[in-house]
Amino acid sequence: MTRLTVEDLNQADKERIVDILGDVYEESPWVAERAWSERPFSSTEDLRQTMADAVQNSSQKKQLDLLRAHPDLGERTEMTDESEEEQASAGLDQLTPKQYERFQQLNTTYRDRFGFPFIMAVREESVDTIQNAMEERIDHSKSEEFQTALDEVNVIAKLRLEELVASSEEQYS
């Protein structure tokens, strides 16, 4: 797949931007819509920051909706292609029955406590690392975990953008 350049995105209309970047933030095309209005982007980093700012400057309800759009980790359910690939890279699609049961318990406890799913940038992480993070973060305060989840969403978005958009260095090499 040929990656797009920032210039390609600067020249794209709103519909195309949303089509290309709409799933960078899980099932939240509004982030791409808001970023489009801030064009032109000077770099991939500028685009990433613009999208992160759109999330940060949105209402708490909008942020909560974004968090709730994420699937539970290790869940055997339908999810976006991006989430499926990310979870598979961490082995979450290969959990043993015992691991699956533990993830289900942790997901339920976490969701009941915070009102949204546990979110972590899991690409290339191990099942044990993810499980340990879940167990640790369950003890966070609600405000601390809300911000941690938003921070993780931004890491996920950064990784997704890196797959879609060529960096300035790549464009000129």
Q: Which domains does the chain have, with CATH numbers?
A: 6-171 (1.10.3330.10)
The pLDDT tens digits for 5-49 are: 999 999 999 999 999 999 999 999 999 999 999 999 999 999 999
pLDDT tens readout for residues 94-132: 999 999 999 999 999 999 999 999 999 998 899 999 999
Residues 6+ apart with CB under 8 A from 104: 74
Give the integer Cα–Cα distance in Å for 59 and 120.
22
- Catalytic residue annotation: 70
Q: What is the pLDDT of residue 172?
A: 45
pLDDT at 66 over 90: yes
Rounded-to-integer distance, Cα 159 and Cα 146, Å:
20
pTM of the model: 0.90
pLDDT score recorded for residue 171? 46
Per the model's pLDDT, the better-predicted residue between 169 and 90 turns out to be 90
The tens digit of pLDDT for each residue in 126-168 reads 999 999 999 999 999 999 999 999 999 999 999 999 999 987 5
